[in-house]
Chains A and B, each alone.
Chain A
Amino acid sequence: MIVKKYFSTFLAGTLLATGFVSVAQAGKSDDTLNVAIDRELESIDNYYNTAREGIVISRMVWDGLLYRDPKTNEYLPNLATSFKWVDSKTIEFDLRKGVKFHNGEKFDADDVVFTLNYLADPANGAKPARNVNWWKNAEKLGEYKVQLNLKKEFPAALEFLSGPIVMYPNDYYSKAGPEGMALKPVGTGPYQVTSVEPGKRYKFKKYDGYHAGSPKGSASIGNIVFRTIAESNTQLAELFSGGIDWIWKVKPDQAKRIAAQGAFTTKNSSTMRIGYLNFDAMGRHSKNPMNDVRVRRAIAHAIDREGIVKALVQGESMVVNSLCFPSQFGCAQDIKSYDYNPEKAKKLLAEAGYPNGFETPFLAYRNRDFAEAMINNLNAVGITTKFEYLKYAAFRDKVQDGGAPFNFGTWGSYSINDVSAITSHFQSGGKDDYSKDPEVIKQLGIGDTSVDPAVRKAAYKAALSRISEEVFMFPLWSYNTWYAFSKDVDFNPTPDEIPRFFTAKWL
């Protein structure tokens, strides 16, 4: 942000060292959890918002047909009481009776058919497109029975239907549209929206009429207020002065100081986001050292992932060896890994014809400190970099135009617990695929279209093994998020980085 990063440490240190921290109990006393978010949301209509905070609100205000238990990753019935695959491209759902939207509208098959057909129409521009472009249409089979017709086999359907795809009230949305929904959202979820000040503040109230059969369970905290406070130091000051009860994305050094002080609860959770190096294996940039697998392997051995995780990434982050997050379906773990071994790296470079190393451009768009640590590792084996640190839009432009032999990026998989959300995105021959390896593309194609879990797992393992063997991309580590909140709050983070406030309680 605008304020220098190091100043955060100073402020936290000043506040804590001078004993200024005295915890206010305002939130609990008026049954209102005050939450700080760091960005202005474009809209809180679930389908016109890609921000993570928007996803958090979506889980509070709306429900999907299914719900994935974040602990067991099991798909549980929510607005649908049951489902069955009629064939590999057709799913039938029996819907829950007695559910009402926040405005009193009855939930039935008309709402599901309206929502799914609205989303399937590209003219409506729902985003991200990959969330909504895999089915053809939905049909009403009865008042509480619908059928979803897929365009092609799409085994990750249940994952999407248990997360980003939520149901809208057909009568209300057909009149209000995205603009009306953004200002006065209506769902079936455990919280209803009572006030929207676009970009600034959102107020929620526990929905007393929430359906009893929901696997989400009824909310416990009566009111929640989201306030946009862009500056992390101000968030911290608000936490200390009692204006805010809950913050996240806390910097590791701040989190440690807050934890040591003892006035607040701090928790850390690994997230689905992983870091990676993407190599120009096929020479898209130009003929360059990364075209040689020995160089790519040398770089894999040169990066001290364990050391960087321990010193910089910290928290519950871990080194990842497959190009996916371990909890994702199909993310095989028993594949080739690369230990930190600079001598082996030098030897491989010499074999590849670079006994004295070489100079190469290197791009990144976030975590400059991590990138610089890797540059140091590379320098140690003789590889020097012309480092460019860019804004995301410029980074993506340059990467997709083949603007550098390798880059450091990260990917959060949209919190979709399936390998298709990451490995298939990068290695299926698209613009981000720097290797375009026919075998990898073939195996990912099988994994992405088969509905047999065993076939999918085998195909993804084959693809991930080849990616690792050839080092088309080099997975680095998972990311983590620090949370800090009032000691009055019982809150448990989940690895999908979607705080579920409907499970939070006052202590």
Chain B
Amino acid sequence: MLYYTLKRLGLAGLVALTVSFISFGLLYISSDPAIAMAGETASDADIEAIRQLYGFDRPILVQYFDWLQRAMSGDLGKSYYFRTDVSALIAERLSTTMTLGVSAITFAIVLSVPLGVAAAIRPNSLIDRIALFLSVMGQALPSFWFALMLIVFLSVSLRLLPTSGSDTWQHFIMPTIVLGYYAAPAIMRLTRTGMLEVLSADYIRTARAKGLRPRVVLFKHALRNAVIPVVSLTAVQFGFMLGGSIVVETIFALHGAGFLAWESITRNDLPTVQGLILVFSLFYIVLTFFADLLNAWLDPRIRIN
């Protein structure tokens, strides 16, 4: 298990380094950061001053290693746009994103796992059809459309919930539903498929033949095995929610890390973009790492292989 853990950690570090280097290069290739920072009304003198002030006139590799050296010591630099520490900025925005991500993934799991299990127990029944319907809807509905429809009905029409912002827990209800519902179908279908496969396995038939209670067969023997791919998928979905909730954060004016990433890309705020990419990739890596460990714990065959 120790060898397995160290190997995964080493791979995770290499992935983080590669992602940071590629993103750094792509940002520089896309356009001149000095022009983007100076804004539309800036004169040539403004742009040149910015170029020299921030060292954009140095070779790209020098700039990258300079950034990497500081990042390794925990200094992500200062935002070109806000003129504040990137780490403090990201930490502040991450609290909103984490709140949204955790509530959305919880919503997705609570909705999809029981439905997936119920659909697998009674395939082609009404509950299976309802699960299928919800699943297809979740996949087909563009999240911006779903978000705006919720706003129209729950906020503008019924006045039940605030439209946008992040001041109270009520502000997170609609974003949680939108983001969670988008992730739910994949978890639901995978749970259903996994359960169907496991329920027809020999050892389940044996367990039933031994006279074990259906609840024990279902939750102790079947679900534990069926849930292994679901754990990996949920980790990926959670990572997506932390980094990819740009649309939801924009529509609900949540000012989270996803929205910050989008805005920082459009204004070429390189230290912030780099910092966010590093944080997001670390999230993915950590989540995948823990999902791998969890799977190895659930299924000893994985760590032996």
Contact = CB atoms under 8 A, between A and B. Distances in A.
A182 B82 CA distance: 10
B83 A50 contact: no
Contacts of B287: none
Interface stretch (A167-175, A235-243, A296-304): A235-243
B259 interface: yes
Interface string B127-155: 00000000000000000110010011001
A18 B158 CA distance: 13
B277 interface: no
Contact of B46 (A128, A182, A238): A128
Contacts of B157: 18, 20
Contact of B152 (A11, A40, A127, A231): A11
A125 B252 contact: no
B43 A2 contact: no
Given A11-B152, A237-B156, A128 B144 contact: no
Contacts of A21: 156
A42 B83 contact: yes
B235 to A, nearest CB: 26
A414 interface: yes
Interface string B287-298: 000000000000
Interface stretch (B34-42, B101-109, B213-221): B34-42
A73 interface: no
A282 interface: no
A507 interface: no
A234 B45 CA distance: 38
Nearest to A421: B41
B148 A237 contact: yes
A412 interface: yes
A237 B148 CA distance: 9
B156 A230 contact: no
Given A20-B156, A20-B157, A237-B152, A125 B53 contact: yes
A397 B35 contact: yes
Contact of A396 (B35, B84, B164, B255): B35
Contact of B82 (A127, A198, A237, A396): A198
A198 B84 contact: yes
A2 B156 contact: no
Nearest to B262: A2
A129 B49 contact: yes
Given A227-B165, A230-B250, A391-B31, A412 B41 contact: yes
B70 interface: no
B102 to A, nearest CB: 21
A122 interface: yes
B156 to A, nearest CB: 5
A496 B253 CA distance: 28
Contact of A129 (B45, B255, B266): B45
Interface in B17-44: 30-33, 35-36, 38-44
B281 interface: no
Given A50-B41, A237-B155, A243-B163, A182 B83 contact: yes
Interface of B: 30-33, 35-36, 38-46, 49, 53, 81-84, 144-145, 148, 151-152, 155-157, 159, 162-165, 246-247, 250-253, 255, 259, 262-263, 266, 268
The 8 lowest CB-CB distance pairs between A and B, nearest first, are A393-B31, A393-B36, A393-B35, A50-B39, A394-B31, A229-B253, A20-B157, A129-B46
24 contacts: A2-B246, A2-B250, A3-B144, A3-B247, A7-B145, A14-B152, A20-B152, A40-B263, A50-B38, A127-B42, A130-B43, A133-B45, A198-B82, A231-B251, A233-B151, A233-B251, A237-B148, A241-B155, A243-B164, A392-B35, A393-B32, A393-B35, A396-B35, A397-B31
Given A15-B156, A392-B40, A393-B33, 18 more contacts: A7-B144, A40-B81, A42-B82, A42-B83, A127-B46, A128-B38, A129-B45, A130-B43, A179-B83, A234-B151, A237-B164, A238-B163, A243-B163, A393-B32, A393-B35, A393-B36, A397-B31, A414-B41
